Amino acid sequence: MYMQATIVGVIIRLLELNTDRKGVSMSMERECTSNESKALFSVMGMTCSACSASVEKAVKRLPGIREAIVDVLNNKAQVIFYPSFVKEEQILEAIMDTGFMAELIDDDISDRSHQVCRVRIRGMTCTSCANAIESTLLGIHGVKKAQVALATEEAEINYDPNLVSYSELLKAVEDSGFEAVLITTGEDECKVHLKVDGIRNDHSWRMIENSLELLPGVQTIDIDPRLQKVSVSYKSDITGPRHFIEVIESIGSGNLKAMMYPQERGSDSHKQEEIKQYYRSLMWSLIFMIPVFLTSMVFMYVPGVGHVFDTKVLKMLTVGEMVRWILATPIQFIIGQRFYIGSYNALRHGSANMDVLIALGTNAAYFYSVYTVVRAATSVNFEGTDFFETSSMLITFVLLGKYLEVLAKGKTSAAIAKLMNLAPDTATLLTLDAGGKILKEEEIDSRLIQKNDLLKVIPGEKVPCDGFVVWGQSYVNESMITGESRPVTKKKGDIVIGGTVNQNGALHVKATRVGSESALAQIVRLVESAQMNKAPVQKLADLISRYFVPLVILFAVSTWLAWFLAGKFHSYPESWIPPSMDRFELALQFGISVMVIACPCALGLATPTAVMVGTGVGASQGVLIKGGQALETAHKVNCIVFDKTGTLTEGKPVVVSTRLLRQMVIRDFYELVAAVEVNSEHPLAKAIVEYAKKFREDKENQTWAEAKDFISISGHGVKAMVNDKEIVIGNKSLMLEQGISIPSEAKELLLEAEGMAQTGILVSISQEISGVIAISDPLKPSATEVISILKSMNVESIMVTGDNKGTANSIANQVGIDTVIAEAKPEQKADKIKELQGEGYIVAMVGDGINDSPALVAADVGMAIGAGTDIAIEAADIVLMRSNLEDVITAIDLSRKTFSRIRWNYIWALGYNLLGIPIAAGALFPSLRFRLPPWIAGAAMAASSVSVVCWSLLLKNYRRPKILDTLEVKEIRVE
């Protein structure tokens, strides 16, 4: 089955860019694509968002632009780009062409020495909190980038460790008034934490440290005697955790016992603790609030009981007022303490958040009530109404809303939690003798697995880590990782992924990637990183939240003042005033209702929660989306540019015929050709090398003659010197460039191959055309249907390939593509995308090869076929892990569904505030006598946040278009 090797290959290589590359061209291509640079430009003359948008658009039209951010307020533009495709001077020229003065700023942001740490932040309530923390972090010298995600309550900080340490970053967050907990430092790729029992003095700790330092491969050692914890960073190729345990337990006459440190549940444990905290606060608040509510609104109507609470204690002060004051005070100052702390921290840094609104509203109600109590206790004729039930119920309902909100938010990252739980807790380690016979089977903690361990996996068990099969045959269910529904055959030499399930046969697996190096860990990190990235639409919420709270406070004060003055000057009749209130109290209630009904949280959660669920669902469907920006742009795509080989076709080409044009033995011919092509990773080259093995007597022999001066000409072919003969292999253009004449017989053979949708390859030996190789690469079974479905979605399809025109046109006719660009070099592919963008298209590029990387970068959305090269995967915005072409439709459809949900979230959040605030201000009171008491306004505010999160959670029920299921059935039948 085609999918067997390709799916597994991509995941293991997904973020690993350290594998060996063959050929000079490959190394150069990898270096220029993976090394990105940053440049900061001063742009003068911008006056509004339209100006910044035009600059950003002009820059992004250039090839090799990874990201462009234009700050109109500070007149700056930050550009992340690949220097092999575009230079700083070209970017500067593009900015100036838009009509603005610009210059390059020599800033330390271009310094490539950087590290990324992740921090969990507790105490954020709305977007204002996240923005305040981001501003604080970005103000630290050495911090290059900081992203704070409200929905995940985490921050990802890109910083220079030579200028600032992660402990200083944590302190900066804590100084902002929030609790910060380090998740990873960027140094944890190979780090293990051990618990050591039996330590009696500091001397033993020093012995442990000294002994571990002597082990080869150990990099750093951190010891925490208080926690009895030893943390070791190491090189996984040289040593591992079992060695550390053996060394520690050999110290001190065997009195020491070492084990893996109890595993923390990370984000999940934090969420559970937060849920418990809100639950406890809510329960205590209810205990105090319910009596306050009963004494103020229920007991007064109960005969006998009401009389007791109306009994005067001191002058006009009643028993009911005293009871309410006593019960409301702990709610206000102990249970509601979090709102005071949040308000103080926000105001201290010049921002305002939801806590400020709650604190102001409840304090207004509480302290006015205290005033009425004091007046009643000191006067014989004062009659006033307290609002203790307003402040108590308001805090209680806000806590209820936050409790429901954290419950719902905990479910938005369910996809990551499921991925993390795929790793098994234990593994069966095999010990062999020199002859390969099994001596011992031992069950160990899966965290103790080391590279090159031999592991036994029986039917029904999960594969404990990434590796390859050395014995046995079975079917493995990889759907939990790749989304591929069909079990995949595994036999000797095949790669297996940690976390997948072995189904029906025992396997012996040799470990290759363990712990944080595994494909599963890398996918989790990629999805987590994607969920940290803000979608461009989030800028709207950030902009609104910057002014939202101050405007609400101003409007609330204006509402109170307007109603108070209207009452003072008798602008409305006395009958409008409820019996238990006066004019001042009625105005105060309107003002408090306005203050507490406004909800910046719903706006702040509208985008990130939907992006979190969308990217998580995508990962479960085999579509890895690298962030909110890719997710947002994909829903606007109206043109898709497809590569041919490996994208529209199977990518498993085979040689179907060989015609020699000179007298020579075909075995000798292929010995020369394979010696050159073995240095290339192009699918056609691999097909030729595989075919050449058939002419060898020793088919297991993998060595070929040495190819000197190997050069790869992207999109055209290769050339090298073999046995002092110049070998040139490629298309007609390459031969003409090299000054090699093409005989008429070779031209006829090429036309014949093209007519049958085959790729004809010319082979020149010593400047003479010596043969024509015809290679067939069959179409993917679903290619025609996918193109048809895209047309029905109003998405235009174009094919751009480096193959010859005849073959390209033949393939295009079969799948239903009208526009074809053939014999295109990598830069020509990128130029075509720029041309389409200039015509107003939002372009996606789907490719898999190294020569597709410039186009993937130039496109608005780059989609890499999962079986493709590492460079293509790194350059892309979306990775289709299953290598199925129909996942292009899934990616676009999921993006459209996600952003439809985001639009509804914004409609709800904005509409709620636009309708709720006027109603709370009393807009309906003159005509309908309808008003919102503050506690109901507070409950409505809490409900708005919960509803937005729940609306986003509905994305978990996403199902890809049903028509794609029929295509999958078709593929199964074909195979």
Amino acid at 250: S
> What whole-number distance in Å separates Cα of residue 402 and Cα of residue 407?
8
First to last CA, the chain: 7
Beta strands in 528-685 (DSSP E): 623-625, 639-642, 654-660
> What whole-number distance in Å separates Cα of residue 520 and Cα of residue 449?
15
Cα dist from 836 to 489, 562, 789, 803, 816, whole Å: 42, 57, 21, 21, 19
The CB density around residue 878, as the number of other CB atoms within 10 Å, is 28
Using DSSP's 3-state secondary structure scheme, residue 254 falls into coil
* C-alpha gyration radius of the chain: 34
> What whole-number distance in Å separates Cα of residue 848 and Cα of residue 484?
19
The CB density around residue 267, as the number of other CB atoms within 10 Å, is 20
Residue written as token pair 């990105």: 36
Q: What's the burial of 855, exposed, middle or buried (CB within 10 Å: 0-12/13-18/19+)?
A: buried
> What whole-number distance in Å separates Cα of residue 361 and Cα of residue 304?
34
Q: What's the burial of 546, exposed, middle or buried (CB within 10 Å: 0-12/13-18/19+)?
A: middle
What H or E segment, with its residue span, contains residue 720? Answer: strand 717-722
Contacts of residue 252, Cβ cutoff 8 Å, sequence gap at least 6: 198, 204, 207
Query: In this structure, what are the phi and psi dihedrals at residue 548, rounded to the nearest 5 degrees?
Result: -65, -55
What are 509's two structure tokens? Answer: 């697996």
> What whole-number distance in Å separates Cα of residue 956 and Cα of residue 646?
31
Beta strands in 150-207 (DSSP E): 154-159, 179-184, 191-197
Print the SS3 string covering 442-486.
Answer: EEEEHHHCCCCCEEEECCCCECCCEEEEEEECEEEECHHHHCCCC
- Of the candidates 594, 599, 596, the one whose C-alpha atom is nearest the C-alpha of residue 544 is 599
Contacts of residue 298, Cβ cutoff 8 Å, sequence gap at least 6: none
Report yes or no: 20 and 844 within 8 Å, Cβ to Cβ: no
- Of the candidates 974, 845, 898, 890, the one whose C-alpha atom is nearest the C-alpha of residue 483 is 890
Which residue numbers are catalytic? 643
- Of the candidates 27, 56, 26, the one whose C-alpha atom is nearest the C-alpha of residue 41 is 56
Residue written as token pair 């191959």: 753
- Of the candidates 206, 564, 511, the one whose C-alpha atom is nearest the C-alpha of residue 368 is 564
Beta strands in 514-653 (DSSP E): 623-625, 639-642
> What whole-number distance in Å separates Cα of residue 736 and Cα of residue 773?
18
Beta strands in 45-185 (DSSP E): 65-71, 76-81, 101-105, 115-122, 143-149, 154-159, 179-184
Cα dist from 840 to 628, 632, 843, whole Å: 22, 17, 9
Q: What's the burial of 828, exposed, middle or buried (CB within 10 Å: 0-12/13-18/19+)?
A: middle
What are 111's two structure tokens? Answer: 């310094």
Report yes or no: 159 and 169 within 8 Å, Cβ to Cβ: yes
